[in-house]
Amino acid sequence: MPRYRITIEYDGTPFFGWQIQPDRPTVQGQIIKAIAAFSGETVAVRGAGRTDTGVHAQGQVAHFDLSRTWQPFRIRDALNYHLKPAPIVVLDASEVPPDFDARYSATGRHYLYRILPRHSPPGLERNRVWWVTCELDANAMADAAKLLIGRHDFTTFRATSCQALSPVKTLDRLDVARQGAEIRIEVAARSFLHHQVRSFVGSLKMVGEGRWRPDDLQKALDARDRTTCGALAPSQGLYLVGVDYDDVKNTV
C-alpha cells in the first residue's frame, strides 16, 4: 500500500483548526473529502502539526495511504481540483517509504507570527496579522526573546489543556525583526507545546509596549506558572511555515 506525503498551504480563517471535528469545517476534514472524491477511498490523514482555529499554513505536511499507486502530480492536481473553493492548496506531493510519518518523522517545525502595529486597521491583511494600535519596540522584543532560546521548562507558556508529556522543550530560534510596517517573529524547534508560540508573542508584546522589562520575561519563565504569562496572542497572526525532515527541509 503506497504512502504519500503532501505539502499544504491554507488560510485558516474559515476553519476550526486542522484536526477533524464532527459538524465543523476543518482542514484535515476537507482534505479527507477531497481524497475520497478522486480515489474513492476514505483514508486517515496525519498532519505534522495540529494548528488551531484561525491559524494559517504555508508549509503544513501530511501523509496518507492509498490502495493503488498514483503519480504524485496527479494526486496534487486532483486534490487541488476537489478542494475548491476552500482556501486550501496542495503545493506538492511525493511517494514516501511506508515508515514515514508526517508528525513523528519531523525533525523541526518553523512558525511565523505577524504583528501590525499602527493606528489604522488592516485592509488587505485582515485575519492574517495581529493588529495592535500602539507602537512596539522591536529591538527590545528581540533582546528579550534571546532569554527564551535553549532548553527550558516552558510551563509558563503552555496551555492548561496541553497534552504533552513534559513541558521541557528546546527552542532553536526566536527572532524578532521589523519588516516594513510589520513586526515578524520567527520561531523554530523540533516540537512545541500547545499555545507556546502565541504565549511567547503575547509576552514579548508586553516588552515591546514597555510594560515589561526583559527581566520580567525571565521571571515569568522561571516561575513555571501559566498565570505569569502575558495575554495569549490571537490566532490570526500565526503561520506554520514549514516542517523539516531528514531528507528535505520544507520551509518556505
Alpha-carbon distance 155 to 176, whole Å?
22
E strands, 36-189, where? Answer: 46-47, 56-65, 88-96, 108-117, 130-132, 150-153, 168-179, 182-189
CA 213, 215, 217, 223 torsion: positive or negative? negative
Q: Which three cell numbers stand for residue 115?
A: 504583528
Mark residue 75 as left, alpha or beta (left: phi above 0; alpha: psi -120 to 50; beta: remaining).
alpha
Whether 52 is catalytic:
yes
Residue of 52, 99, 153, 247 marked active site:
52
Residue owning grid cell 504524485: 72
For residues 155 and 115, the answer to whether their CB atoms sit within 8 Å is no
Helix (H) / strand (E) containing 18: none
C-alpha Rg value of the chain to the nearest Å: 19
Question: Could you give the residue numbers annotated as active site?
Answer: 52
